[in-house]
Structure 1
Amino acid sequence: MFKSRFLTQISESLRLLGYSLRTEKTYLYWIACYIRFHRLKHPDTMGAPEVTAFLSYLANRRHVAINTQKTALNALAYLYNKFLQRPLGELGFSHAQRHRRLPVVLSPGEVSLILGQLSGRDRSIFSILYGSGLRITECLRLRIQDVDFEHAAITVRDGKGNKDRQTVLSQSLIPELQQLITQAVDLQRRDNLQGIGPSLPFALNKKYPNAFRQPAWMYIFPSTSVCQHPLAHILCRHHLHDSVPRKILRHAVQRCGLDHKQINCHTFRHSFATQLLRNGRDIRTVQELLGHSDLASTQIYTHVIGQHYAGTLSPLDSLNMAAD
């Protein structure tokens, strides 16, 4: 069938350029939606007007979020600009501007309440999110080689934007992380007896056939079951799926009575940044630890703690001080 062959070619192109599997799946989904919307017409016979019509449909009929519109546009921009080599040019379509929303953050007391509802592996995951400012996927993808106990540092590989970065590791987490690593290595050894190991990036298993036996490549938070590698098509053990900690967090938040706040895994990353600024860390350091390309992304946290007011007092406070 034409459509499946075409999408397979796009998939191969994305992999050749080093796009992540998550991005590949997202782009293929929106390209397929675009083709179906135009009744299976080949994209090569369409162009900017059809792309604009599709984006308008998403905005006005399906009422998708602004970020979803941008993702769909990115997928179609890749299709035309890079795959088909037919630049779209000016579309005459502009997204609605996203309103700035201040992130929800947790106080140290609230973090303690939530962590108090967790234990073992689950407590370690959320302790890392708060103590190192990682995204949930970055945390779950950590391998043993990414943790440097001597320098109390964590290396994030292929983070957002395909960038590596280093961030801090809490000294208090070292004993439990060492225990988790011991458990992960034991699991790896049992898997190795069956010819199975951790999933490896790209074609590393072909270049280094025994890499799956090396503890350095083992995930600190391995999945409880094995699966088929999406590219190599061999049995392997991937990292824990992000739906597991999300579900655990939801129950923990309910148990400690904080379900009136919109708390998710990313809230711990927001709280990490906010607490660093409250403790006097400069914003450039926080930007580097978070891996933000644009300082404006980090500056949102100064609004959360009120630093953008430069110490300005409320007029009511001034009135009360004068009365005293």
Structure 2
Amino acid sequence: MESLPPDPPKRKLLDQVRDAIRLKHYSYRTEQSYVAWIRRYILFHNKRHPKDMGSLEVETFLTHLAVTENVAASTQNQALSALLFLYRYVLEQPLEQNIDAIRAKRSKHLPTVLTVSEVQKLLGVMTGTPQLVAEILYGAGLRLNEGLRLRVKDVDFHQQQIIVRDTKGNQDRITVLPQRVIERLQAHLVLVKHQHQQDLNQGYGQVYLPYALERKYPNADRDWVWQYIFPASTRSKDPRSGIVRRHHLHESVIQKAVKAGIRQVGIDKKASCHTFRHSFATHLLQNGYDIRTVQELLGHKDVKTTMIYTHVLNQGGKGVISPLDHIHPSL
């Protein structure tokens, strides 16, 4: 009697986590983050298997992050999300009770905002593709990763609008395409299309497609409309599939260019690429646009998130004139 073939070896826990994340179509960055947090959780509890632990161990780990490591609230929330995902979708033992850990305190810092003059000076010293990206970040209120992930089909020159897809919260939104960048963006796309054609001629030209669309539409990953507007200068191997593709420009390219521009102009503020988005919102409110319009352009779910920019608009300490300024200068 023939013996049955042995069962294939069970995949390691972290590989199971990666499989579940990819099945849910989470981003590669989220995959890296979740795997890292789950590994830290296991090491913190002396390599015990998570299936033998539960809410109490999760609470202990999260409390350690807040009290001992003094992490930010957003960092602690990210760790919690990773562990909730692990127990619900990988181990299939969802945590039933509320996690009663000591929570990290949320910071209440007002966003850094540049004046219109500072934005003009900063953009003025930047050049090339980083300058074009920065102008779109400011002119459309985009996050850096939203700007770099734009594809050819996402820009509507006729309607003068940008469709921002797969945003924070997985909801598409529409924002404005600045008139000032249209001509240069069109010229930029001519060069990108030429580069794409060269890739095709050399047997490449594929681009990453979300939600496994490459299986549903086998040739779509080579279509021009799916290509990134700001592609990387070189092709690279996809860490998940192993396919050699041309990904979008790396974030560090723009971050370094913005940082260098800030130093050159001499802006004494803790500014970054994200400061363009804060400045976009604040300057729209200064120009008289209503808070709901700004909320929609930014893609905020709750108007309370957008309201923070109204605090930035106040002059001085909540718009209050100091009593010292009422004293006659001769005294």
Give the Å deviation of 1:208: 2.5
User: Alpha-carbon deviations, 1:77-113, whole Å to 9, x = none?
Assistant: 1112333232321232131331311000001100011
> Hey, what does 1:140 align to over in structure 2?
148
Q: State the one-letter code of the partner of 2:254.
A: P
Structure 1 pair 271/233, CA: closer, same or farther in 2 (3 Å)?
same
- In the alignment, which of 86, 98, 103 is matched to residue 106 of structure 2? 98
Structure 2 residue 256 is matched with structure 1 residue 250: no
Q: Does structure 1 retain, via aligned residues, the 8 Å contact 2:154–2:164?
A: yes
Q: State the one-letter code of the partner of 1:199.
A: Y
Q: How does 1:312-323 map to 2 (within 5 A)?
A: 314=321, 316=323, 319=326
> Hey, what does 2:131 align to over in structure 1?
123
- Scaled by the length of structure 2, the TM-score of the pair is 0.90
Q: How does 1:47-66 map to 2 (within 5 A)?
A: 47-66=54-73
Structure 2 residue 247 is matched with structure 1 residue 238: yes
Q: Does structure 2 retain, via aligned residues, the 8 Å contact 1:189–1:213?
A: no
Unaligned runs of 5+ in 1: none
> Hey, what does 2:49 align to over in structure 1?
42
> Hey, what does 2:224 align to over in structure 1?
215
Q: Hey, what's the Cα distance between the residues in 2 that align with 1:68 and 1:95?
A: 11
Q: Hey, what's the Cα distance between the residues in 2 that align with 1:58 and 1:180?
A: 46
Q: Does structure 1 retain, via aligned residues, the 8 Å contact 2:142–2:298?
A: yes
Q: Does structure 1 retain, via aligned residues, the 8 Å contact 2:235–2:246?
A: yes
Q: Does structure 2 retain, via aligned residues, the 8 Å contact 1:278–1:305?
A: yes
Give the Å deviation of 1:316: 4.3
- Structure 1 vs Structure 2 CA RMSD: 2.3
Structure 1 pair 280/317, CA: closer, same or farther in 2 (3 Å)?
farther
Give the Å deviation of 1:164: 0.7
Unaligned runs of 5+ in 2: 1-8
Q: State the one-letter code of the partner of 1:30.
A: W
Q: State the one-letter code of the partner of 2:39.
A: A
User: How many residues are paired up?
Assistant: 319
Q: Does structure 2 retain, via aligned residues, the 8 Å contact 1:196–1:212?
A: no
Q: Hey, what's the Cα distance between the residues in 2 that align with 1:313 and 1:50?
A: 49
Q: State the one-letter code of the partner of 2:261.
A: A
Give the Å deviation of 1:313: 5.4
> Hey, what does 2:4 align to over in structure 1?
none
> Hey, what does 2:283 align to over in structure 1?
275
Q: Hey, what's the Cα distance between the residues in 2 that align with 1:318 and 1:103?
A: 27
- Scaled by the length of structure 1, the TM-score of the pair is 0.92
Identity %: 46
Give the Å deviation of 1:315: 5.8
Structure 1 pair 315/118, CA: closer, same or farther in 2 (3 Å)?
closer
User: Alpha-carbon deviations, 1:138-162, whole Å to 9, x = none?
Assistant: 0000111100000100011101111
Give the Å deviation of 1:3: 11
User: Alpha-carbon deviations, 1:212-235, whole Å to 9, x = none?
Assistant: 332101111100111112333211
Q: State the one-letter code of the partner of 2:21.
A: L
Moved more, 178-187 or 90-99: 90-99
Q: Hey, what's the Cα distance between the residues in 2 that align with 1:315 and 1:3?
A: 70
Moved more, 162-171 or 88-97: 88-97
Q: Hey, what's the Cα distance between the residues in 1 that align with 2:34 and 2:11?
A: 14
> Hey, what does 1:200 align to over in structure 2?
209
- In the alignment, which of 15, 18, 21 is matched to residue 11 of structure 1? 18
Structure 2 residue 162 is matched with structure 1 residue 154: yes
Q: State the one-letter code of the partner of 1:303.
A: H
Q: Hey, what's the Cα distance between the residues in 1 that align with 2:105 and 2:88?
A: 24
SS of residue in 1 equivalent to 2:283: helix
